[in-house]
Structure 1
Amino acid sequence: MSAPTAVRPLRIGPYVSDTPVVLAPMAGITNAGFRRLCREQGSGFYVCEMITSRGLVEKNPLTFRMIAMDPDENPRSMQLYGVDPAAMGQAVRMIVERDLADHIDMNFGCPVPKVTRRGGGAALPYKRRLFERIVRAAVENAGRLPVTVKMRIGIDDEHHTYLNAGRVAVDAGAAAVALHARTAAQRYSGTADWAAIARLRDALPAEVPVLGNGDIFSAADALAMVAATGCDGVVVGRGCLGRPWLFADLEAAFAGRPLPAPPTLGQVAATLRRHAVLLQEHMGPDKGIRDVRKHIAWYLKGFPVGPELRRRLGLVCSIDELDELLAQLDVHEPFPADADGPRGRQGSPGRVVLPERWLDDPDDPAVPFGAELEHSGG
């Protein structure tokens, strides 16, 4: 496997990564512990969980725990959600004044109902004037910090917004644009439409990076996306769940080197244990060990591990107990050939929940009543 010749290092503002890869923010996943685990594998941009502009401005304790960064993270990438230009501007000023991050990514791609019903996430770019004001408020208050935008194709097949939103974001000063090539109605189901990424790349100035997101489950998928779309890099989400070594594969693939050998079950177990330790360091012993439970099925996907051992691992309460259970695994078991492919949530397509009369006027710049989420993590 060799790297496509068109792929260059990814530049976002003053920050450059030789590997054109971004870890997508994932609620409950991309905390400081998981980001460190992934950063240890390969270079790229590693973005924290989404937080709300309101949560930041109001100094919500949960929000500040979610934006904890390791001292050696560089750049420190933070994703913000918001629907009010004033609140967004205030939040970005706080980030700058308190030196909380080096790069701000804006979420206009979240499809979950609690976000879209308030006009946020993937629903917001339909309101093109409001969208423009929010992006501009962030850019104008960011100073030297680069601001990037992540979005979806649109609300549904009747309401595509990505081409206009991409142009608006660039005109407002966005340093890069990422496209999850699904509509909000698709959620995480079906197949990503990579052709939309190619159309967005063609529609925007060549000097502005366009990043592709959707169905990157292996290094081969990443190279295929770049070759098919001409995008400047890839955004990896669900594909790295239980597979943080995917970032080592990606670094090798984009450099044109042979991929590392797939890990044995023993190596997977060692990575799982490392993940648990990092979560404990970040969250504390009790919460950290509880949090690792949700990752175990992803790590063990495809391996011949019996149901009783899986059940006990899913209830683990301490590192000592984790060590005892992992010692029962066959450390020489090779990585299963069928363990690649979709992982994490997929679900089914469905109607997008929107504020009342949301689709009546795309030029209405009004902020929806009660639109700002009270807490982060959506």
Structure 2
Amino acid sequence: MLKIGPIELETPVVLAPMAGITNAAYRRLCAEQGAGLYVCEMITSRGLVERDAHTQDMLVFDELETIRSVQLYGTDPHYVGEATKILCEEYGVAHVDLNFGCPVPKVTRKGGGGVLPWKRTLLGHILEAAVAAAEPYGVPVTMKTRKGIDDDHLTYMDAGRIAQDAGIAAIALHGRTVSQAYSGNADWDAIASLKASLDIPVLGNGDIWEAADALRMVEETGVDGVVVGRGCLGRPWLFRDLADAFAGVESQALPALGAVASMMRRHAELLCQHMGEERGCKEFRKHISWYLKGFPAGGDMRRDLGLVSTLAGIDRLIADLDPSAPFPASELGAARGRQGSPRDKVVVPEGWYDDTDGTGCVIAEDTISGG
């Protein structure tokens, strides 16, 4: 069991926020598979405080979400604190996660995401503001970070100490640097080092493609739980497998194409319920290649599904899939989603490395939520 403040999770698994992916429909779909904590896609603190319409549109929760969890991005303690208060007071959020791990250049060039922990003093002020704002509501605040900007600018050990001192309820570490983005292998040794240095719960993130990987990470690093991101793309049943694995239950059979097609249909249905049929079907298109990866589905089928605009159209197309086609063994343990290549240089504000203080420096507070 994983305990984050007053939240107790029978299965110590957290769905990583992913822009354009972890909306209310996808969170519901994953939660139907197994227990865990399912986090809303990242929103910006200033966007929420200034009542940006797009940001507010993202703060939608399924009627069966018993624990509302949101990841918040920000670089200004004032905005982060105010946004945390709004989430607790107006949206009934039960858990706030702070993002200090995003590697996207449009975020890092403004001093946010995975590069902000270089500014130790500023990081502490942000964490303290969020914790103070959430405390009256009994809402735990957690944070997610990376090893550092690159191998010459590691931040995770200091970030963990600062987080613990600020009253953060738990910290998740993605075992890659910002410069790695999603390439290469996650450094589980770094995760183990952070766990050994802290008293608060530590969650490990990176290279969990199968349930067995999660168990191995816990065994090798001692972490209190795991964060799963790209591994569940097109595979929401991974949370079923994770629940079984942590409960010591024998794993269920891998789904054949017929079962995958049913999952696809359920996903599309939930998207349409939350967004309307036209938009829901458009949102569904991005998931098709992940669901069908490795399965015998021809180019015409994939193309037509990529143009679908109605649930009836989805039904017609998936009816032509071979329901008996077995799950492709070649996909087991394989990386999913974007990988890319390591970056020669991380884009940061001018003079970023001059000090590790951060107070008084010019850092832009973004107003745009999502990816």
What TM bracket, shorter-length normalisation? over 0.9
Alignment of 1:139-158 (within 5 A): 139-143=131-135, 144-158=138-152
Matched residue, 1:242: 234
Letter paired with 2:238: L
Letter paired with 1:53: S
Tell me the SS of whatever aligns to 1:217: coil
Matched residue, 1:60: 52
Letter paired with 2:193: R
Cα distance 1:246–1:189, how it changes in 2: closer, same or farther (>3 A)? same
Q: CA deviation at 1:96?
A: 2.3
Matched residue, 1:347: 340
Is contact 2:96-2:140 (8 Å) kept?
yes
- TM-score calculated relative to the size of structure 1: 0.96
Letter paired with 1:243: R
Is contact 2:45-2:367 (8 Å) kept?
no
Matched residue, 1:196: 190
Q: CA deviation at 1:367?
A: 4.8
C-alpha separation in 2, matches of 1:374 and 1:52: 6
Tell me the SS of whatever aligns to 1:79: strand
Confirm or deny that 1:15 pairs with 2:23: no
Q: CA deviation at 1:93?
A: 1.6
Is contact 1:130-1:366 (8 Å) kept?
no
Letter paired with 2:17: P
Q: CA deviation at 1:224?
A: 0.8
C-alpha separation in 2, matches of 1:40 and 1:174: 29
C-alpha separation in 1, matches of 2:244 and 2:204: 19
Matched residue, 2:115: 123
- CA offset digits 1:226-258 (Å, max 9, x no partner): 111000100000000000000000000000001
Is contact 1:265-1:331 (8 Å) kept?
yes
Tell me the SS of whatever aligns to 1:42: coil
- CA offset digits 1:150-186 (Å, max 9, x no partner): 0000000100000000010110000000000000000
Letter paired with 1:264: A
Is contact 1:84-1:367 (8 Å) kept?
no
C-alpha separation in 2, matches of 1:193 and 1:97: 38
C-alpha separation in 2, matches of 1:338 and 1:18: 31
C-alpha separation in 1, matches of 2:361 and 2:40: 26
C-alpha separation in 2, matches of 1:130 and 1:270: 48
Is contact 1:24-1:235 (8 Å) kept?
yes
Is contact 2:15-2:227 (8 Å) kept?
yes
Tell me the SS of whatever aligns to 2:149: strand
Letter paired with 1:121: G
Moved over 2 A (4+): 366-369
Tell me the SS of whatever aligns to 1:36: helix
Tell me the SS of whatever aligns to 2:121: helix
Confirm or deny that 1:187 pairs with 2:181: yes
Is contact 1:130-1:367 (8 Å) kept?
no
C-alpha separation in 2, matches of 1:90 and 1:289: 35
Letter paired with 2:152: E
C-alpha separation in 2, matches of 1:310 and 1:71: 32
* Percent identity of equivalent pairs: 60
Aligned length: 367
Q: CA deviation at 1:71?
A: 2.5
Tell me the SS of whatever aligns to 1:78: strand
Confirm or deny that 1:231 pairs with 2:223: yes
Alignment counterpart, residue 265 of structure 2, candidates 239, 248, 273: 273
Matched residue, 1:375: 368
Matched residue, 1:6: none
Is contact 1:139-1:147 (8 Å) kept?
yes
Matched residue, 1:5: none
Is contact 1:83-1:367 (8 Å) kept?
no
Q: CA deviation at 1:366?
A: 2.5
Matched residue, 1:363: 357
Alignment counterpart, residue 69 of structure 2, candidates 65, 77, 86: 77
Cα distance 1:126–1:318, how it changes in 2: closer, same or farther (>3 A)? same
Tell me the SS of whatever aligns to 1:211: strand
Letter paired with 1:362: T
Letter paired with 1:349: P
Could you list the runs of 5+ residues in structure 1 that have no partner in the other structure? 1-8
Q: CA deviation at 1:368?
A: 2.3
Alignment counterpart, residue 302 of structure 1, candidates 278, 290, 294: 294
C-alpha separation in 2, matches of 1:129 and 1:29: 33
- TM-score calculated relative to the size of structure 2: 0.98
C-alpha separation in 1, matches of 2:184 and 2:91: 40
Alignment counterpart, residue 93 of structure 1, candidates 68, 85, 91: 85
Could you list the runs of 5+ residues in structure 2 that have no partner in the other structure? none
Q: Which moved more, 1:360-369 or 1:46-55?
A: 360-369
Matched residue, 1:4: none
Tell me the SS of whatever aligns to 2:172: strand
Matched residue, 1:311: 303
Tell me the SS of whatever aligns to 1:291: helix
